[in-house]
Copies of this chain bind each other. A is one copy, B any other.
Amino acid sequence: MSKLFFIALFATVVLAQDLPLMPWPANVSRGQGELILNPSFRISSFGGDARLHDAALRLADRLFRETGIPISREFTDVAATLAIIVEEKKTDDESYHLLVDSHQARLTSTGPLGALRGMETLLQLVHIGPSGFSIPAVDIDDQPRFAWRGLSLDVSRHFIPPDAIKRTIDGLAAVKMNVLHWHLSDDQGFRVESKKYPKLQQKGSDGQFYTQAEIREIVAYAAARGVRIVPEFDIPGHATSWFPGYPNLASGTGPYEIVRTGGVLRATMDPAKESTYRFLDGFIGEMAKLFPDPYFHIGGDEVSATGEWSHNPHISAFMKKHKLADFRALQAYFNRRVQKIVAAHHKRMMGWDEILHPDLPKNVVIQSWRGQESLADAARKGYNGILSNGYYLDLMYPASQHYAVDPLKGATAGLSSDERKRILGGEAAMWEELATEENIDVKLWPRLAAVAERFWSLESVADPASMYRRLGPVSHWLETQGLEHLQEIRVMQERLAPDAAPQVAILASILEPMKGYTRHRARKYGSLVPFNRLVDAIPPESDAAREFADETDRAVMRRKLAGWRDNARAVTPKLAANPMLAEIVEVANAIEELCSIGLEALDSHPAPERAQAMLAIIDRDSKPKAEMLIQIAPSIRKIVDPNSMPAVSK
C-alpha cells in the first residue's frame, strides 16, 4: 500500500495525448498509476493459436530489451502481471482491448491478430515512471480504419538482403501495418529463385536473389507477425531482367542485359505469342505455391509507347487480327490473359492503375500511383483499390506531407458509401533507384510510422504537430525494436569522416536530400554507382530544421545559428582534406553564410538594401549543393523578411 501511495503522490500527470503511441488508437483514456515491471512480472496466455504463443514469447524478449529486466518465458495460469486472452483461434478481426492498472495488464481480443496489434501498443507504453520501468494505467479500445495497410518495397533496383526484409517486417508489425507488397522484379533485377525457369535468377540478378527457402522463411516470419506478403512481378513492361535468361519472352530481338540505369525502358514482354502465356502459366503456378497470400500483383505500369511493341511487325499483325486498336487495348488483352492464368492458380490479380479496363473481372484490385481520381474511377466501376499516390517515401518529402494525404479525401470523398468501401486502404511505396541495403531503414523510418497512422487511425487524427511530438519517441522506440535507421546514419557518416564524425553529424543535421525526382536527374545514376556520399547518409527529413522553423525564442535561435555557424567553420578544413567530403565544403560555406545572415538579421532589423542583398544570398544558398538542401534556409529567409516569398527550391 505504501508503494502505491508513493506512486500516486509522485506520478507526473501524463495526459492520454502525451502517450508516445503511433498509430494513435481509436479510443484511449489514461488511468491512475502505473504497472511496475520487475523480475516477478509474469505472462499468461489463454486461447489463440501457436502464432500467438510465439508472439507472447517474443513479447517477453522484447520487454527485456526495453527494460533490461529478465522476463520469464514460462507462462503462468494464475495471477499474471500480463494476461492475454483471445476468444477464437481464427478471425481477421484486428481489434483489441488493453486495460492496464497498477496490478495487471489485460489484453483481450476476438482473435490472435488483435492480440498481436495490442502487444505493440503495450510495448510502446513501456517507459521509466516514478518507480522505474513501468506501463502507465490506460484503457484502450482500438481497431483499424482500413483493412489494407501496406508498404510496397522495390528490391530490384537495389537488392535488399533477407535480414533487412525481416527487420522491415518487424517495423511494419510494430506500427500495425499488415501488408508487405514485395516488388520482386523490374528491369534492373529479377530477385526470386525459380526452379522451373532458373535462368531468370541466373542471368537476371547478378547473384542477388532470394532462394525459395529464404522466401518461405520470410513469408512465415511475416505471417507470425500478422503481415501478409503480396508478391509483384511487373509485366509486360519493367521486365527487362526476365530477358537475358529468356529472350524469347521479349518483343524485340535483343540481346538483353540487366539494366544498370533507371527510367522507363523500351524492352517489353511479347503479348502476341502463345509461348509467352505458357511461360507465365508455368511461372505463376510456381510462384502461387511459394506465396500463400490470396493476392498476386502483376504490375502492369508504364509500358513504353515508343518501345518494342511499335517496332515489331508480328505484333502489328497480331493487333490487326484481334482488332486491338492501340497499345492500351493490346495491354488490356494481355492483362485478360494473365488474369485468367492468375485465377486458375487461385489468386486474385492486382495491378497498377494502367490495368484498369472494363473487360477485367471485378475481383481485380487496383493500386493507384496516379491518385485519388484514378482510384475513384476504379471504385465507381466496381473495383477495389488502394492508394499509393502521395505515399512515395523515395521522394524524400517530410512525414507531414504524406500524413496529409488521405485515401478518402479529394476525388474519393465524393464516392457513395458502397463505393467508399471499395477503397481498401493504402500502401506506402519505396523505390530503390537511389537507396541501398545500407540506408533502407532511414529511407523508410520513422516516416513510415506516420503513414501507418494515416491507414490505421481515425480520419480525424490528422494534426501534424501531434504527429511530430509522438514521432520522435516512436522513432527511438523503433530502434529499440531492432530497426537501424539511426544506426545507419551514424555508421555511414563515421565511414565518411572517421576523424570528424561528430562535427559532420551537426552539419548534416540541418541538411536534406533533394526532393522529388530532381536527384534522379542530377547525375547519371545506376545500380553500379556507389551511394556512399553525405547525401546518402542523412535522413529524408531534418528534425533540427523543423524544430528551428517552429522556434519562437530568439535567444535559442541565436544560440543555434551560432552553433551551426561555428561548427561549419571549424569542420571545413577537415572536409577539404577528405576527398569523399570535398564536395561538402561548398555546403559548409553556405551554412556559415546563412547562419551569419540569420544572426545579423536577429540582432538588428536590416535596412531594405541590406535585406535585398541578404535575400539574394539566401536564394543562392537555397539551391541544391552536393545534391542536398540546407533546410534552415527558409527559416532564415523569414527572419530577414517575414513577408517575402521564398524562391522555389526542389
Chain A residues packing against B (C-beta within 8 Å): 38-39, 65-70, 72-74, 127-133, 206-208, 436, 438, 473, 476, 479-480, 487, 491-492, 494-496, 498, 527-532, 536, 578-580
Q: Which residues in B have their C-beta under 8 angstroms from that of A476?
A: 494, 498
Q: Which residues in B have their C-beta under 8 angstroms from that of A69?
A: 530, 532
Bound-complex Cα distance A28 to B14 (A): 62
Known contacts A67-B532, A127-B498; can you find 11 more A-B pairs with CB under 8 A? A66-B495, A67-B530, A68-B436, A68-B532, A69-B530, A73-B208, A128-B496, A128-B578, A473-B498, A476-B498, A487-B487
Q: Is there contact, CB below 8 Å, between A206 and B73?
A: yes
Q: Is there contact, CB below 8 Å, between A128 and B473?
A: no
Residue from the list B206, B479, B580 in contact with A132, Cβ < 8 A: B580
Bound-complex Cα distance A72 to B438 (A): 16
CB distance from A65 to the nearest CB of B (A): 8
Bound-complex Cα distance A225 to B480 (A): 30
Q: Is there contact, CB below 8 Å, between A207 and B480?
A: no
Q: Is there contact, CB below 8 Å, between B480 and A491?
A: yes
Bound-complex Cα distance A74 to B129 (A): 54
Q: Which residues in B have their C-beta under 8 angstroms from that of A532?
A: 67-69
Q: Is there contact, CB below 8 Å, between B498 and A68?
A: no
Bound-complex Cα distance A67 to B531 (A): 9
Q: Which residues in B have their C-beta under 8 angstroms from that of A73?
A: 206-208
Q: Is there contact, CB below 8 Å, between B74 and A206?
A: yes
Q: What are 25 A-B residue pairs whose CB atoms fall within 8 Å in the complex?
A: A39-B530, A65-B438, A67-B532, A68-B436, A68-B495, A68-B530, A68-B531, A69-B530, A70-B528, A70-B529, A72-B206, A73-B208, A74-B206, A128-B578, A128-B579, A129-B579, A130-B579, A132-B580, A133-B580, A473-B498, A476-B494, A476-B498, A479-B491, A480-B491, A487-B487
Bound-complex Cα distance A544 to B617 (A): 42
Bound-complex Cα distance A70 to B531 (A): 9
Q: Is there contact, CB below 8 Å, between B68 and A529?
A: no
CB distance from A319 to the nearest CB of B (A): 41
Bound-complex Cα distance A306 to B32 (A): 53
Bound-complex Cα distance A128 to B498 (A): 9
Q: Is there contact, CB below 8 Å, between A68 and B536?
A: yes
CB distance from A235 to the nearest CB of B (A): 27
Bound-complex Cα distance A362 to B456 (A): 70
Bound-complex Cα distance A480 to B130 (A): 38
CB distance from A518 to the nearest CB of B (A): 22
With both beta carbons as reference points, the residue of chain B lying nearest to A536 in the complex is identified as B68
CB distance from A324 to the nearest CB of B (A): 42
Bound-complex Cα distance A131 to B496 (A): 13
Known contacts A128-B579, A131-B579, A579-B130; decide if A492 and B530 are in contact (CB<8 Å): no
Q: Which residues in B have their C-beta under 8 angstroms from that of A133?
A: 580
Which 10 pairs, one residue from A and one from B, show the smallest C-beta to C-beta distance? A68-B532, A69-B530, A132-B579, A39-B528, A68-B530, A73-B207, A128-B580, A70-B528, A131-B579, A132-B580
Q: Is there contact, CB below 8 Å, between A480 and B495?
A: yes
Bound-complex Cα distance A358 to B498 (A): 55
Bound-complex Cα distance A41 to B130 (A): 57
Q: Is there contact, CB below 8 Å, between B528 and A207?
A: no
CB distance from A120 to the nearest CB of B (A): 18
